[in-house]
């Protein structure tokens, strides 16, 4: 049975590390779906740091978009760690600046459908960017809004959603259930 688990939080909150620990509990053989590109020295160092942390039994696939085509090739039951949804949205925004929202929605439609179709476990990492200051420039505001909408879509499809703060994962579905039980 397919499932989606989402890890969100701020920069350097420990999201990726928590998602990696979660994936390790599920399978020794994980497909790590990396959406980052090494465009500068700082990003190359980040990517290398993440690579060194992963178990040698994990397979890394780098893809900046069209993730459903990668998932279509995986056997049923595969555990996939997508790191990260934030960069996927950024990649699609920059590739489709005049009309990014349809491209992002198509990507998410295809991704979520393929998880179901292939009976995969998708563990997705994303950034929570809506809790900070409002970006000073239009592209930054557009990115914040598009990522917020993408996060909501993936969270709605997820069986578990973890907010990671200071390296501590807090499961939000349990809090949501408690909130739903209260009388307003």
pLDDT, position 184: 58
Q: Is 33 left (phi over 0), alpha (psi -120 to 50) or beta?
A: beta
Domain ranges of the chain: 3-181
At 47 the pLDDT is 84
Distance CA 56, CA 121 (A): 20
Determine which one of 29, 50, 66, 99 is catalytic. Answer: 50
Place of tokens 């909408």: 149
The pLDDT-based confidence of 65 (bands split at 50, 70, 90) is: very high
Based on the residue annotation, tell me whether 50 is a catalytic residue of this protein.
yes
- Residue 83 marked as a ligand binder: yes
Q: Say yes or no to pLDDT of 85 above 90.
A: yes
- In DSSP terms, which residues pair with 122 in a beta bridge? 4, 80
Q: Could you report the per-residue pLDDT of 126-144, keeping only the tens digit for each?
A: 999 988 889 999 999 999 9
Q: What is the mean pLDDT of residues 156-175?
A: 96
**2-30 average pLDDT score:** 96
Q: Which residues of 119-148 are buried (b: 16+ CB within 10 A; e: fewer)?
A: ebbbbbbbbbbeeeeeeeeeeeeebbebbe
Residue 173 known to bind ligand: no
Report pLDDT for 133. Answer: 87
Please tell me the predicted confidence (pLDDT) of residue 50: 85
Is 54 labeled as ligand-binding?
Answer: yes
Q: According to the annotation, is 14 in a ligand binding site? A: yes
Quote the pLDDT of residue 183: 59
Q: Is 3.30.2290.10 the CATH number for 3-181?
A: no
Q: What are 161's strand-pairing partners?
A: 6
């Amino acid at each position: 049975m397919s499932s989606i688990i989402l890890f969100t939080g701020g920069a350097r909150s420990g999201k990726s590390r928590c998602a990696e620990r979660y994936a390790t509990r599920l399978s020794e053989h994980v497909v790590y779906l990396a959406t980052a590109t090494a465009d500068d020295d700082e990003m190359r160092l980040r990517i290398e740091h993440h690579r060194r942390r992963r178990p040698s039994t994990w397979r890394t696939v780098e893809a900046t978009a069209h993730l459903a085509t990668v998932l279509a090739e995986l056997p049923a039951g595969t555990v996939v760690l997508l790191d990260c949804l934030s960069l996927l949205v950024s990649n699609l925004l920059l590739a489709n600046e005049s009309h990014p929202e349809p491209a992002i929605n198509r990507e998410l439609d295809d991704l979520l459908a393929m998880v179901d179709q292939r009976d995969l476990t998708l563990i997705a990492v994303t950034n929570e960017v809506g809790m900070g200051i409002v970006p000073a420039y239009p592209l930054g505001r557009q990115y914040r809004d598009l990522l917020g909408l993408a996060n909501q879509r993936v969270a709605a499809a997820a069986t578990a959603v973890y907010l990671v703060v200071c390296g501590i994962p807090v499961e939000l579905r349990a809090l949501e259930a408690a909130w739903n039980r209260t009388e307003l």
